[in-house]
Amino acid sequence: MAAEVLADAGLAVTVYEHMPSVGRKLLLAGRSGLNITHNEPLDDLLARYGHGADHLATAIRTFGPQELRSWCASLGEPTFVGSTGQVFPASLRATPLLRAWLARLASAGVSIEARHRWLGWATTSDGAVDARRSLFGRADASTVEVTGDVTVLALGGASWPRVGSDGGWVAEFRRAGVEVSELRAANCGIRVDWTALFAERFAGVPLKNVAVAVADRSVRGDAMVTSGGVEGAPIYAHSAAIRDAIDRDGRCTVTVDLHPDVSNAGLRDRLERRRPKDSLATSLRRTIGLTPVAVSLLREATGNRVPVDPAELAVLVKAVPLVIEQTMSIERAISSAGGIAFAELDETFMLRRLPGTFVAGEMIDWEAPTGGYLLQASFSTAVAAAQGALAWLARHPITSIP
């Protein structure tokens, strides 16, 4: 995105891509429909970025959801708003968008060099970082040095490393004196030490229409049991709170309401109608409609000591406790938290320590929930960084062609 803005301004632009082809993480996001942004009011959208909201506000207000949707349409991919406010391309795929985008970049003269991994900066004779000279490792194990009048780095976080973003840049930035917060899993599942029988029987089975709560916040949706824990939107929505609680206390209690549409009293009344000869599973299915996975979750959470008293059982069904000591690894997370501290950047996303070098996307220390917010901020910061680069070049005339 930064390359498009810079090329449209008449600059000679080269994109150096770590992977054999560009856009792999965009294609990965497209597997679930490519939720590219969200249609909620802008102030509400900005609030989704937590501690990063104030720092991202100008970029997102300048290139926000409407601008992003117009950009998609200009590539032949009109968008629509789903029932939850999420915005998708009409095709529900990333491939047509990426194909049209690459054609546009090529027509603008953008050159793409694949299989070039950014290794860091070259140094001057006295050992200082020379931000105009970047080093790249190539597929043949050789190293090439590239000089540019301006550089925009979009090296990603550390989630889904198989598509290119592995956080390998962090050490080099720290060596240059740039403060980088630890990259940690965000929008991730939770690890639960299931019994072998439960994991074997229910891995891949959904917990439909549940409400997952951490502290006083509850989120409804479908969660998915895995062999090692639980995934899904209502879990991801709490991932930052869970991660922070584990960092602080060593554990976090997550509660699952298996019947959010019925009150505690309502469940108790239904459970009191249990037939004496019915088994627990049969009784819970007949009286309150619990599925086998939900019944077994009650057993897992209580060490198979599920209460028989209707009042106690109703309380448990409304808040099944799961004590969590680990989230899923960052390699399996949808996104990552941490990155370059905002204090290291000026208002144009330029590194204060390395004038002429700009950064964009998930390598900056912000995080957001799923729902289109991740891609929106990535696009917005790319546009802002490119515009910052153009402003910087206006004050520092070009002396070479990258």
User: In this structure, what CATH number is given to the domain that contains residue 63?
Assistant: 3.50.50.60
Please tell me whether residues 284 and 257 are part of one structural domain.
yes
Average of per-residue pLDDT values in the chain:
95
Condensed to tens digits (0 to 9), the pLDDT of residues 223-232 reads: 999 999 999 9
Give mean pLDDT, residues 114-126: 95
- Is it the case that residue 140 has pLDDT exceeding 80? yes
Query: Phi and psi of 89, rounded to 5°?
Result: -70, 150
Q: Dmax of the chain from CA atoms?
A: 87
% of residues, the chain, pLDDT over 90: 91
Instruction: Please enumerate in sequence order all residues whose Cβ is within 8 A of that of 99, keeping only pairs 6 or more positions apart, or say none.
Output: none
Give mean pLDDT, residues 132-144: 96
Please tell me whether residues 255 and 299 are part of one structural domain.
yes
% of residues, the chain, pLDDT over 70: 99
Instruction: Please enumerate in sequence order all residues whose Cβ is within 8 A of that of 1, keeping only pairs 6 or more positions apart, or say none.
Output: 360, 378, 379, 382, 383, 386
Burial class (CB in 10 A: 0-12, 13-18, 19+), 41: exposed
Domain end point (choices 298, 324, 350): 324
The per-residue pLDDT for 402 is 43
Q: Range with the lowest mean pLDDT among 254-258, 264-268, 276-280?
A: 276-280
Residue 262: CB atoms within 10 Å: 18
The per-residue pLDDT for 274 is 83
- Residue reference for tokens 């998930």: 362
Condensed to tens digits (0 to 9), the pLDDT of residues 292-343 reads: 999 999 999 999 999 989 999 999 999 999 999 999 999 989 999 999 999 9
Q: Note whether residue 221 is domain-resident.
A: yes
310-318 and 264-271 helices cross at what angle (nearest 10)?
A: 140
Domain that holds residue 285: 190-324
Please tell me whether residues 274 and 224 are part of one structural domain.
yes
The per-residue pLDDT for 276 is 81
The per-residue pLDDT for 401 is 47
Give mean pLDDT, residues 27-46: 94
Q: Characterize the bridge pairing of strands 37-38 and 86-89.
A: antiparallel
Please tell me whether residues 76 and 136 are part of one structural domain.
yes
- Is it the case that residue 58 has pLDDT exceeding 60? yes
Please tell me whether residues 163 and 248 are part of one structural domain.
no
pTM of the model as a whole: 0.91
Taking a C-beta distance cutoff of 8 angstroms, is the pair 15, 112 a contact? Answer: yes
Taking a C-beta distance cutoff of 8 angstroms, is the pair 12, 119 a contact? Answer: no
Rounded distance, CA 227 to CA 198, Å?
A: 8
Q: Which of 227, 189, 221 is nearest to 208 (CA)?
A: 221
Give mean pLDDT, residues 239-266: 95
Please tell me whether residues 198 and 318 are part of one structural domain.
yes
Q: Note whether residue 143 is domain-resident.
A: yes
Give mean pLDDT, residues 100-104: 98
Domain end point (choices 307, 324, 341): 324
* CA dist list (Å): 236 to 22, 188, 333, 336, 370: 27, 5, 9, 12, 8
Please tell me whether residues 67 and 158 are part of one structural domain.
yes
Structure tokens given for 267: 């469940």
The per-residue pLDDT for 278 is 83
Please tell me whether residues 225 and 260 are part of one structural domain.
yes
Q: Note whether residue 236 is domain-resident.
A: yes
Q: Note whether residue 402 is domain-resident.
A: no
Please tell me whether residues 75 and 201 are part of one structural domain.
no
Rounded distance, CA 115 to CA 61, Å?
A: 34
Q: Note whether residue 225 is domain-resident.
A: yes
- Is it the case that residue 399 has pLDDT exceeding 70? no
Please tell me whether residues 311 and 364 are part of one structural domain.
no
276 or 346, which is more confident: 346
- Number of domains present in the structure of the chain: 2
Rounded distance, CA 78 to CA 36, Å?
A: 12
Give mean pLDDT, residues 204-214: 97
Q: Note whether residue 314 is domain-resident.
A: yes
* CA dist list (Å): 141 to 115, 119, 138, 144: 10, 12, 5, 10
Please count the CA atoms within 13 angstroms of the CA of 148 that sit on its side-chain side. Answer: 23
Please tell me whether residues 134 and 61 are part of one structural domain.
yes
CATH number at residue 305: 2.40.30.10
Please tell me whether residues 179 and 213 are part of one structural domain.
no
- Is it the case that residue 400 has pLDDT exceeding 60? no
